Amino acid sequence: MIKNLLFDLGGVIIDIERQNCVDAFSSLGLQNPGSYFGDYAQTGIFKQIEDGSINVDTFHRELHKVLPDNVSDYQIDNAFQKFITGIPVARLQALRKLRCDGYGIFVLSNTNPIMWRGIIANEFGKEGLRREDYFDGIVTSFDAKALKPDPAIFEYAIENLAIDPAETLFFDDSASNVEAAKALGFNAVHVVPGTEFTDYLPLK
């Protein structure tokens, strides 16, 4: 019996567009920005800020070494957040309804503190609520110090969210993350482009 719903953010709840981020960093003068950004995971310094191995100050400092002198921290953060295009209000409404229906609603996301404290928090405020008002618990990669599909982040979520994988349905837009979750006993669905997470909901 499914008691909990565990959501990835990007590509499931939040709409994303990798190319926007690539273009924004290109305009700032970053060489070959496309090499840093994948559809489901980042590389180099962008991976390090997501897995929590560096903080925001170090991220800025290291990027300034490879960007023109006139680029500000604000411009870096703004370019990084172009990855996110928004959250449709209908998805926020769906999350609230699912919580009212009695499901435990949780997040397990590869993300970073810049987006988390900036655009992600803002997008969840569209209904006048806070991000935390939609969820019973949240795990971010930078807090867990691990990235999906590493089993360590799923184990961290199990412990910190106090959820039983057998009673939890996990939603992710990455097939490899879905398979990693299944290997640890989660029920899991691959949310493919052009579909909504509501298309995969279990029947009560």
Q: Show which residues are catalytic.
A: 8
Burial class (CB in 10 A: 0-12, 13-18, 19+), 133: middle
The token pair that represents 191 in the structure block: 């949310």
Both structure tokens of 139: 């795990």
CA 133, CA 96: separation in Å to the nearest integer? 9
CA dist., res. 19 & res. 115, Å (int): 16
Encoded tokens for 158? 């199990």
Give the closest residue to 77 by CA, choosing from 44, 117, 42: 117
